[in-house]
Every structure is written in structure tokens, then in C-alpha cells.
């Protein structure tokens, strides 16, 4: 095992593949995912808490944020295609970590794993905050921070318990929640077009910045909506026929989520008055109430949104443990993260839910005015690090021109797609803002110290 330098390209490690197959065969609680569940994992993780709260978060920028949504969709699909190509040549669990380490060596792999792991548990905290907004529609939580904080913590621990039960239950919860979440989304996305009123859209650019600056700033918030595009690639070791199904699930899931996103956000903008939308904590419920009157519709949407976000937390909790698991197998994360039970890296799940709980409690009890926005912007920076490293790995393979890594017939198309994904990643990192980059960089560089200790112990 190299401490530094480039790891030679190789086929999927037989020992790891055999381990996953053995686990699936010997435990009734572990089961490998087919194309439908892999697609549901991608769509379920993309369409989670983000879409249900972000229309209110981007409303202060005006309708220019819809332009950001369109640009973001193009970049997300390009990134999905890159992940599909990388997974086709190396379908191991770990996603960006595996691709970065194979191309650039241990340190790059560790940075990808570390930053992606940070993204997952910070995202879980943000999802729980978003879910509490809809829980408040169903159950009066009052205005006390302790009550709201405890509700957010409960929403994080329930999916963690499903993960402890095994991958069989994770897949079942993911499939059911993905189906249920489309009820409110399609209701608003399609039904809202019949109630669309252009006068409710508000100004095109109300941010006070230039149009380009407003697009970049709103895109930084919107990236949270597309986190999860890499879900199938990260869990490739649990996907049947991963070389074929990971790419298909990634592209189908991302394209489907993008269509629902664009229609849903446009409908919310056109059914809820701009000044009310800016202050909303449950914009989809407000949209249904505006469409049909009364509160029954908003209550039904809040229930479906809560189920959706709980399912999303279920999938993200699994992903949060998969990358550290792959890194721990290679000696780049503490060895405890490599322990699996019923197909799930249980130590990774436990550490993740504890860290996200502590972060949630800190943000609520410290008095942050916009807890969701603060957490989202931090994940924007930390997510783009593994995205950019994975894209760089694909550039490495394309430029190196090795026959086992590059399909000559698709070279021109792959080059354009990879360049788009790379530009997209850099643009998002710039749009996250100074505060998010500062906080994200602190998390990232703390990992350098962890790597130094692990590398020294391995030597």
C-alpha cells in the first residue's frame, strides 16, 4: 500500500467484491440493490429536504434564481454522466474516494473521503432542520428552541435505527419514501401551473447584486438540492451489475429529479406571493393552501414532505458510512469504520448521527438566525471538493489515453461533458461565499492532521 504517490489502476478488488457478496449471501438483512432501488436511492437522496424548503431560501434573490436552477441542472447532469463513466470502469463502494485515490494516490483519496464525509453529516443536520419546518405544520412545536431542537434530533435518529437494522430495510424504506414523496411534488409541480399567477413572482433580481452575482449566490444554495447525484456510485459495491446499473441509475435519477425541481419551484413562485414566500417555513404547504384554500391541503403536503425527508435522511445516513468504510479498508480512515453488520458500516452510521446531532444542537442553541442556510452553504463547499477530485480523475484518464480507461469512440463527447462538470464544480465553490469557504476550509484542513496521524501509524 502506498503512503503517497499514484495508485496503479486496477479492476475492482476481488477481496472487497467477495466480501460484499458473502455478506449478502449469509445475512437475510443484507441485500444488493437492483436498478430500480439504485435509481430510487439517487432520486430519494436528491429529492429530499432541499426542494421542500429551498423555494423560500432562494426567494430573496427573485426569479433570477430560476436561471440558476436551469444552469445547475445542466452541470448536475454532466456530473452524473462523469460518475457513470467512472463507475463503469471501477464499480467499488466509495465513489469519489475510489476515483481520486486510483488516479492521484492516497492523499487525494483521503481528502475526497474526508470532505464527502463532512458533507453527509452536515447535510443530515440541514435535512433535519428542514423537516422540522413541516413537522410544525402537523404538530404545534411552539417557539422554544429546545423543543424544536429535540424534534430535529428525533428525525435524525429514526433513520439511523433503520440503518442499524440492515441494508434490506434501508432499501425498502428508500423505495417507499421515494414513491410517497412524488405525491406533493407532482401535485404542486403540475397542479400549480393551473393556478399560476405571474404577479406573484416578484422582481427578477431583488438581491441588490448583479444578475451574474445573484445567479452564483442562489446556485450555491441550490446545490444542496442536487447533493446525492453520486449516491449510486458511492454505494456501487451494493448494486447488482454495477458497471451498467450505476451509470443508468445516476443519469435517470438526476434527470427525473431535475424535471420535478424546475416545475415545482416555478409553481411555488407562481402561487405564493413573493413577500410571503420569503418568510415561509413550509413553502409547498403554503402553495397548496393558496391553490385550494383552507389548510387541509397544506397539512397533507406537510405529512408527505415529512415522509420524504425522513426517507432522504435514511439514504444519506447509509451514504455517510460508505465512503469512510471504503477508506478504512485501505487504511486511510480509522479501522473501526470498516466494521460492517448486516451489510451496513455501523460505526460510520453511529459516528455520523452523533456528529450531525451535535451540529444541529449547536446551531439551534447558539441562536443562528437561519440555521438551514448556514448549514447548506457549508455543504456546498465541502461537496464540491470530492466532485472536483472525481472530475479531475476523469480528466486524468482522458488525457492519459490508456485504452483500458478511455473509450476512443466517445472521447470527444466525454471530454466536453467532463469539462462542463469541472467548470460547474469550480463555479459552485466560488459561489458558496467567503464565510462558507472559510468554515469549509477549516473542516477540510483539520483532516490533514488526521491523515498525518494515520499515515504515520501505517508506516
**pLDDT tens-digit profile of 96-146?**
888 999 899 999 999 998 988 888 888 888 778 777 877 877 777 666 777
Assigned domain for 134 exists: yes
pLDDT for res 228:
74
pLDDT for res 108:
92
pLDDT for res 173:
64
Assigned domain for 196 exists: yes
Assigned domain for 126 exists: yes
pLDDT for res 296:
67
Q: What CATH number is given to the structural domain containing 24? A: 1.20.1740.10
Assigned domain for 5 exists: no
Give the mean pLDDT of 408-432.
81
How far apart CA 10 and CA 397 sit, in angstroms, is 13
Interval 16-35: pLDDT, tens: 444 444 444 434 444 566 77
CA–CA–CA angle 257, 262, 266 (5° rounding)? 145
pLDDT for res 260:
80
Across the chain, mean pLDDT equals 76
Interval 259-310: pLDDT, tens: 887 888 888 888 888 888 887 877 877 888 888 776 666 677 777 778 777 7
- What is the residue range of 289's domain? 14-458
pLDDT tier at 345 (50, 70, 90 boundaries)?
confident
Assigned domain for 429 exists: yes
Q: Reduce the secondary structure of the chain to three states and give it as a string.
A: CCCCCCCCCCCCCHHHHHHHHHHHHHCCCCCCECHHHHHHHHHHHHCCHHHHHHHHHHHHHCCHHHHHHHHHHHHHHHHHHHHHHHHHHCCCCCCHHHHHHHHHCHHHHHHHHHHHHHHHHHHHHHHHHHHHHHHHHHCCCCCCHHHHHHHHHHHHHHHHHHHHHCHHHHHHHHHHHHHHHHHHHHHHHHHHHHHCCHHHCCCCCCCCCCHHHHHHHHHHHHHHHHCCCCHHHHCHHHECCHHHHHHHHHHHHHHHHHHHHHHHHHHHHHHCCHHHHHCCCCHHHHHHHHHHCCCHHHHHHHHHHHHHHHHHHHHHHHHHHHHHHHHHHCCCCCHHHHCCECCECHHHHHHHHHHHHHHHHHHHHCCCCCHHHHHHHHHHHHHHHHHHHHHHHHHHHHHHCCCCCCCHHHHHHHHHHHHHHHHHHHHHHHHCCHHHHHHHHHHHHHHHHHHHHHHHHHC
Assigned domain for 449 exists: yes
Assigned domain for 7 exists: no
Give the mean pLDDT of 185-214.
77
How far apart CA 97 and CA 324 sit, in angstroms, is 9
Interval 79-110: pLDDT, tens: 888 988 888 888 887 788 889 998 999 999 99
How far apart CA 430 and CA 420 sit, in angstroms, is 15
pLDDT above 70: percentage of residues in the chain: 81
Give the mean pLDDT of 191-215.
78
Give the mean pLDDT of 197-214.
77
> For the chain, what is the domain count?
1
Assigned domain for 364 exists: yes
Rounded to two decimals, the pTM is 0.72
Amino acid at each position: 500500500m502506498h503512503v503517497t504517490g499514484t495508485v496503479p489502476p486496477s479492476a475492482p478488488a476481488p477481496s472487497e467484491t467477495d466480501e460484499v457478496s458473502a455478506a449478502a449471501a449469509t445475512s437475510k438483512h443484507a441485500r444488493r440493490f437492483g436498478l430500480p432501488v439504485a435509481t430510487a436511492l439517487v432520486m430519494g437522496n436528491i429529492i429530499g429536504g432541499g426542494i421542500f424548503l429551498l423555494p423560500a431560501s432562494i426567494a430573496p434573490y427573485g426569479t433570477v434564481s430560476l436561471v440558476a436552477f436551469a444552469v445547475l441542472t445542466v452541470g448536475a447532469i454532466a456530473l452524473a454522466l462523469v460518475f457513470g463513466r467512472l463507475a463503469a470502469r471501477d464499480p467499488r463502494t466509495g465513489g469519489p474516494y475510489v476515483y481520486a485515490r486510483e488516479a492521484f494516490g492516497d492523499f487525494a483519496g483521503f481528502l475526497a473521503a474526508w470532505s464527502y464525509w463532512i458533507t453527509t453529516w452536515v447535510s443530515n443536520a440541514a435535512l433535519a432542520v428542514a423537516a422540522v419546518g413541516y413537522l410544525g405544520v402537523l404538530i404545534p412545536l411552539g417557539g422554544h428552541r429546545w423543543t424544536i431542537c429535540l424534534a430535529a434530533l428525533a428525525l435524525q435518529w429514526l433513520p439511523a435505527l433503520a440503518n442499524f437494522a440492515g441494508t434490506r430495510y434501508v432499501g425498502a424504506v428508500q423505495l417507499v419514501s421515494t414513491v410517497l414523496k412524488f405525491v406533493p411534488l407532482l401535485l404542486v409541480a403540475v397542479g400549480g401551473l393551473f393556478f399560476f399567477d405571474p404577479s406573484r413572482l416578484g422582481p427578477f433580481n431583488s438581491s441588490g447584486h448583479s444578475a451574474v452575482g445573484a445567479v452564483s449566490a442562489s446556485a450555491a444554495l441550490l446545490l444542496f438540492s442536487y447533493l446525492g447525484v453520486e449516491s449510486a456510485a458511492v454505494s456501487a459495491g451494493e448494486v447488482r451489475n454495477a458497471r451498467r446499473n450505476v451509470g443508468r441509475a445516476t443519469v435517470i435519477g438526476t434527470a427525473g429529479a431535475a424535471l420535478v425541481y424546475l416545475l415545482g419551484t416555478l409553481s411555488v413562485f407562481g402561487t405564493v406571493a413573493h413577500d410571503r414566500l420569503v418568510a415561509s417555513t413550509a413553502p409547498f404547504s403554503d402553495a397548496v393552501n393558496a391553490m385550494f384554500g383552507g389548510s387541509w391541503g397544506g397539512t397533507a403536503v406537510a405529512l408527505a414532505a415529512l415522509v420524504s425527508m425522513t426517507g432522504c435522511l435514511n439514504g444519506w445516513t447509509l451514504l455517510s458510512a460508505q465512503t469512510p468504510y471504503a477508506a478504512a479498508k485501505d487504511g486511510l480512515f480509522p479501522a473501526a469504520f470498516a466494521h460492517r453488520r448486516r451489510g451496513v458500516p455501523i460505526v460510520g452510521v453511529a459516528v455520523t448521527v452523533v456528529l450531525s446531532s451535535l451540529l444541529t444542537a449547536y446551531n439551534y442553541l447558539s441562536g443562528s438566525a437561519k440555521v438551514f442556510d448556514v448549514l447548506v452553504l457549508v455543504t456546498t463547499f465541502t461537496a464540491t471538493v470530492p466532485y472536483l477530485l472525481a472530475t479531475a480523475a476523469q480528466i486524468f484518464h482522458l488525457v492519459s489515453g490508456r485504452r483500458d480507461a478511455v473509450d476512443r469512440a466517445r472521447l470527444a463527447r466525454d471530454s466536453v461533458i467532463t469539462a462542463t462538470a469541472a467548470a460547474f464544480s469550480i463555479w459552485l465553490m466560488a459561489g458558496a461565499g467567503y464565510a462558507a469557504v472559510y468554515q469549509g476550509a477549516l473542516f477540510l484542513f483539520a483532516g490533514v492532521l488526521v491523515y498525518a496521524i494515520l499515515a504515520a501509524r501505517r508506516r
